[in-house]
């Protein structure tokens, strides 16, 4: 039996930014990192070019599978001595695009976590000029360096949030057989 939804909030489509940010959240669900699940989507002209999530390098044991990042260390962020084993979501998305011959010049990237400095430099070098992120990561000198790249005109950084009504609608879609929902009377 189809359920009729007549609430106006449920009939509003997400903006393109919200749509791509929702996709980053789905990509993050594939993360194999014990510290931070992060997702990324590269888009251009309202089309998805590539997705990525953070996790161990391809072919390496997943931290989530073995239950630790390094022996006797539950998570990479639990130590200042060991580097993260994870390939970051942005790097994986750029690698996927490169692996499949998809140019990223002039594209935008959406990420659940603001790119670290290394990933931001990679994003800029891949020709991606717009970065949309949900959660802030960089602080102090790293934040200053990010802003210097913005001031040079190399990239724009914009923090965005998905509206509560769109999150509620997404939950409805995820929790119900979508084909049984009738959004418009």
Active-site amino acid positions: 90
- Residues 6 or more apart in contact with residue 111 via CB below 8 angstroms: 24, 38, 39, 40, 41, 89, 90, 131, 132, 133, 134
Cα radius of gyration rounded to whole Å, the chain: 18
Edge-to-edge strand list for the sheet holding 39-44: 47-53, 39-44, 108-113, 130-135, 156-159
Backbone angles phi, psi at 34, to 5 degrees: -80, -20
* Cα–Cα distance measured from residue 66 to residue 84, given in angstroms and rounded to the nearest whole number: 15
């Amino acid at each position: 039996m189809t359920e009729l939804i007549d609430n106006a909030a449920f009939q509003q489509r997400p903006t393109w930014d919200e749509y791509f940010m929702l996709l980053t959240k789905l990509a993050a669900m594939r993360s194999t990192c014990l510290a931070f699940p992060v997702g990324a989507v590269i888009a251009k002209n309202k089309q998805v070019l590539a997705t990525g999530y953070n996790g161990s390098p391809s072919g390496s044991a997943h931290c989530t599978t073995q239950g630790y990042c390094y022996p006797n260390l539950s998570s990479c962020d639990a130590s200042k001595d060991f580097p993260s084993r994870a390939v970051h979501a942005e790097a994986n998305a750029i690698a996927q695009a490169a692996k499949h011959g998809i140019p990223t010049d002039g594209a935008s990237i959406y990420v659940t976590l603001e790119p670290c400095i290394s990933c931001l430099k990679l994003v800029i070098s891949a020709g991606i000029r717009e970065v949309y992120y949900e959660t802030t990561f960089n602080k102090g000198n790293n934040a200053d360096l990010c802003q210097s790249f913005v001031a040079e005109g190399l990239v724009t950084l914009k923090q965005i949030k998905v509206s509560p009504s769109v999150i509620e609608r997404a939950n409805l879609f995820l929790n119900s057989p979508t084909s049984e929902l009738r959004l418009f009377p």
